[in-house]
Structure 1
Amino acid sequence: MDTELLKTFLEVSRTRHFGRAAEALYLTQSAVSFRIRQLETQLGVSLFTRHRNNIRLTPAGESLLPYAENLMATWQLAKQEVTRSLQHNLLSIGATASLWEAWLGQWLQLLYQQRPTLQVEARIALRHALINQLHERQLDLLITTEAPKMEELTCQLLGNFSLTLFAASSEPEEEERPYIRLEWGADFHTYESRLLVHNPNPIMSTTSAHLARYLLPITQACVFLPSHWAESFPELIAIAEMPPLLRPLYAVWLQNSDQRTLIRQLLKTPVI
């Protein structure tokens, strides 16, 4: 369907006059008539009854009118989205919920202070899903604790962060303190299973650091949370016998990404 035909149809239906429609569209009257005939040929119906100074929509034209309006509105939205997608500041960034809550939210604050016109789509998902989106070019930048070993990807170490095993009370009510497993990467699960030999089954697994923190008082459980949260949440009590753990943080993007220049510029602002 040629949208110009629909545009001409809508203008004639609005003005009920081929001459005035031609003026509004910056066309000749014969061009307007030709477009309407083309549309009628495609649809196999007459859209207007033509009498001198009296142009009216036929029943078929009346039926087409709302669809033509919707199609043109959709087309305009599509053109706007395509235009926005070509803007260099539009960037999709993906990470797990815990990383967004602990560090990336503050990082975005800094970025917007430096670049008020920056446009970001912040995505929350598990690492494997985000890697798939990266390969399918649905995602521009992945922030993760594990660097994928794939030649087509560029990985940059952003730094290291510290995790501390926190609880909400000094002593558990039961002999063994329950454990909440928070998503810090598959290799971290392997490490924590060695540390928690006596309590291997978590009472809950989640990707949200804040959700895990909320549940500490009622469950009497412990969970690995960002070490710097001790300053923001004084109710958190570090379990002394478990030393803090250091974890790496990586930025990952396609080597031939259209956004690689912007990504490198943004990564000059420290994440941690």
Structure 2
Amino acid sequence: MDTELLKTFLEVSRTRHFGRAAEALYLTQSAVSFRIRQLENQLGVNLFTRHRNNIRLTNAGERLLPYAENLMSIWLAAKKEVSHTSQHNQLTIGASASLWECMLSEWLIALYQQHSGLQFEARIAQRQSLVKQLHERQLDLLITTEAPKMDEFSSQLLGHFNLALFASQQSNTGDLTYLRLEWGPDFQQHEAGLISNDDIPVLTTSSAQIAGNLLKELNGYTFLPVEWAKKQKGLWQVADTKTLSRPLYAIWLQNSDKQNTIKELLKTSLVAQ
């Protein structure tokens, strides 16, 4: 099976348009059509119905879609595993946007200073997506606030950091609107005990920078890491509210061929002591 045919099939199914798929793949429209015909000939079925600009998946195409996505994911993971030996010095680290913004960027700078022979890829995504990438070997190391739940993962508790409510003015929560900054599913249990049930979030985001920038505009307050927030201009900790301690974990596959490198990197402190 030619993976380029599957890649083309996935792009056409996404755009539902041969011309837009051709632009995304840097191909001519005739090349895209030819690839789809090749795939249909190999499978012996029609994958799309074509009525002018109305491109739809057939029942066969719908059935192929999840398999094509899985095959491409496996193929990308395989390419990474057997890539050139020089690329074994590359480490892919994944975390949420807020962790990168508030803690991991400075840590990454320290890693570059201490390990000049390594190359890093900093990947931002939701935890669920990153766990899947870790399981599929598309990710080497995950930094998260939740402990792993799969036996094939190794983990190390890196420390704890404090979250507190911050606003762009000195005020109490009764005068402010709530902005929800996502810190993981289990955080919402703690959040519920500290936020009034009447405080419906006017904004939900995974980015501390976005939440912080909108506090003044929305007359809002949100949970931010204390050490990071104190370094930002124009932020005030909301009076008479509690701080919340959150753990920080490093997670990797037990049989990863990079686990020695990972353990060496984790000697560089990530959480302020």
- Look up the match of 1:126: 126
- Distance in 2, matches of 1:187 and 1:194, equals 12
Residue 159 of structure 1 aligns with an amino acid whose one-letter code is G
- Alignment TM-score, normalising by the size of structure 1: 0.67
Gap regions ≥5 residues in structure 2: 1-78
Shift of 1:200: 3.6
Matched, 1:82 2:49: no
Residue 191 of structure 1 aligns with an amino acid whose one-letter code is H
- Distance in 1, matches of 2:253 and 2:103, equals 23
- Look up the match of 1:144: 144
Residue 121 of structure 1 aligns with an amino acid whose one-letter code is E
Q: Deviations over 1:132-154 (max 9, x none)?
A: 00110110100000012211000
- Look up the match of 1:163: 163
Shift of 1:230: 3.8
Shift of 1:117: 2.4
Give the 3 Å change call, closer, same or farther, for CA 154–175 of structure 1 in structure 2: closer
- Distance in 2, matches of 1:199 and 1:143, equals 32
- Look up the match of 2:241: 242
Shift of 1:176: 4.4
- Look up the match of 1:254: 253
Q: Is the 8 A contact 1:141 1:252 kept in 2?
A: yes
Give the 3 Å change call, closer, same or farther, for CA 110–168 of structure 1 in structure 2: same
Shift of 1:198: 3.6
CA RMSD in angstroms, aligned pairs only: 2.0
- Distance in 1, matches of 2:163 and 2:242, equals 9
Q: Deviations over 1:240-265 (max 9, x none)?
A: 21121110000000000111010000
Matched, 1:96 2:96: yes
Q: Is the 8 A contact 1:166 1:225 kept in 2?
A: yes
- Look up the match of 1:202: 201
Q: Is the 8 A contact 1:88 1:262 kept in 2?
A: no
Q: Show structure 1 runs of 4+ deviating over 4 A.
A: none
- Distance in 2, matches of 1:237 and 1:106, equals 23
Q: Is the 8 A contact 1:180 1:223 kept in 2?
A: yes
Gap regions ≥5 residues in structure 1: 1-77
- Distance in 2, matches of 1:270 and 1:171, equals 35
Residue 139 of structure 1 aligns with an amino acid whose one-letter code is L
**Which structure: larger Rg?**
1
- Distance in 2, matches of 1:182 and 1:230, equals 13
Shift of 1:197: 2.5
- Look up the match of 2:64: none
Equivalence map 1:29-44=2 (5 Å):
none
Sequence identity of aligned pairs in percent? Answer: 51
| Aligned pairs, number | 192
Q: Is the 8 A contact 2:127 2:144 kept in 1?
A: yes
Q: Secondary structure at the match of 2:196?
A: coil
- Look up the match of 1:188: 187
- Look up the match of 1:178: 177
Q: Secondary structure at the match of 1:249?
A: strand
- Distance in 1, matches of 2:222 and 2:198, equals 12
- Look up the match of 2:269: 270
Q: Secondary structure at the match of 1:161?
A: strand
- Distance in 1, matches of 2:233 and 2:121, equals 32
